[in-house]
Amino acid sequence: MANFSCVSTNATYPHILYTTVYSVVLVIGLPCNAVSLWIFFRRLGLQSTPSIYMTNLAISDLLFVISLPLRIFYFATGWWPFGDILCMIPGTLFSVNIYSSSFFIGLISLDRLFAVIYPLRSRNIRTPYFAKLACGFVWVIIFTISIPIALNHKANKDSCNVTRCFEAYSNESWKNGFIIFCLLTAIGILVPFLLIAMSTIGVLKTIKSKSIGMEAFDKQKMVCMFLMNLLMYAICFVPFHIICILYSLNKLGFLHNNYTRAQIIGLCLASSNSCLDPLIYYFTTDAFWKKKSEQMDLASTQSKLPTVSLLKCELSV
């Protein structure tokens, strides 16, 4: 009876749920983001700022998705035979995906804001060069914060001397992780969220109050794109971070409520963001609007109103 508590935990509810969710995300996210990358490289050629931002977003999603087999193996078997490095990589890529996605979605929203409200004045900064520079800056930030994240995601042994990964962290790891997590929440979630919220409000007000040369169909596409960005935060990012902060405070002894189940659900929702990002691509890039793109190009060449024509071209990419 002494060893009863040390039976393998791979059949527990959290492990079964994680295995199922990660498998679904892998099956959906891998082909969707791979096809998206193919479209961005082969059809758009990275010639527009949105395509550059979305290419980097798809790369971030793919990095996370290709690390999922390691997570699936662990939660399906209940043990970790691969050592520290391979434990650190998927744990780090999850955080890299969350925060890089947050920044890139924020850049997409800001780009659309400039295209709608300041189509002429923003031409000098809405260039492929500036977009690549902004993406490079984001990756430098992400690489910098990934170092302490990786060091805090090593494999460890539980009380039964079973090697674990992604769980069974020590009190010291929880303390360090909580500090890192709070800083990442402030920089990587709150700042982009405020940017997206302000961009959404600005664009919706402009579309509603002014005639900006957009057809009703195109206005709906624009509104849907911003609503998808906000929905991404509402489903994937914000709940996960609130729950994780509460869960960490419980682990550190500051709160006595048990947030384990909420933390499991929050983690699964956060992992699903790589499946939802292709919807942002659909509402943002004209690679998915062939018919509308052709109509807008024709209108831009025939229009006698240069400003309106330019705005249509700006919005089509």
The pLDDT of residue 304: 41
Is residue 98 in some structural domain?
A: yes
Residue 282 reports pLDDT greater than 80: no
Asked if the structure places residue 292 within a domain, the reply is: yes
pLDDT more than 90, % of the chain? 32
Could you tell me the CATH number of the domain that includes residue 208?
1.20.1070.10
| The pLDDT of residue 299 | 44
Say yes or no to pLDDT of 174 above 60.
Answer: yes
Give me the mean pLDDT over the 294-304 stretch. 44
Answer yes or no: is 3 within a domain: no
Q: Find the domain containing 103 and state its range.
A: 10-316
Question: What's the pLDDT tens digit per position in 34-50?
Answer: 988 888 887 777 778 88
List the alpha helices (DSSP H) in 153-289.
171-185, 191-209, 216-232, 238-251, 260-271, 273-284
Confidence of residue 302 (pLDDT cuts 50, 70, 90): very low
Averaged confidence pLDDT in the chain: 80
Identify the band that residue 113 occupies on the pLDDT scale cut at 50, 70 and 90: confident
Mean pLDDT calculated for residue range 127-141: 94
Within a domain: 138? yes
Q: Are 232 and 200 in contact (CB under 8 A)?
A: no
More confident position, 159 or 253: 253
Q: What three-state secondary structure class fits 37? A: helix
7 falls in which pLDDT band (50, 70, 90)? low
Task: Indicate whether 5 belongs to any domain.
Answer: no
Contact partners, residue 45, CB within 8 Å, separation at least 6: 51
Given a cut of 50, whether residue 287 has pLDDT beyond it is no
pLDDT in tens, 67-103: 999 999 999 998 899 988 999 999 899 999 999 999 9
pTM > 0.75: yes
Q: Is residue 260 part of a domain?
A: yes
Predicted pLDDT at 73: 94
Q: Is residue 284 part of a domain?
A: yes
- What domain count does the chain have? 1
Q: Name the nearest CA neighbour of 122 among 203, 205, 188.
A: 203
> Does residue 293 register a pLDDT over 50?
no
pLDDT of residue 211: 55
- Which amino acid is present at 26? L
Answer whether residue 314 shows pLDDT above 80. Answer: no
Residue 46 lies in a domain: yes
3-state SS assignment for residue 52:
helix
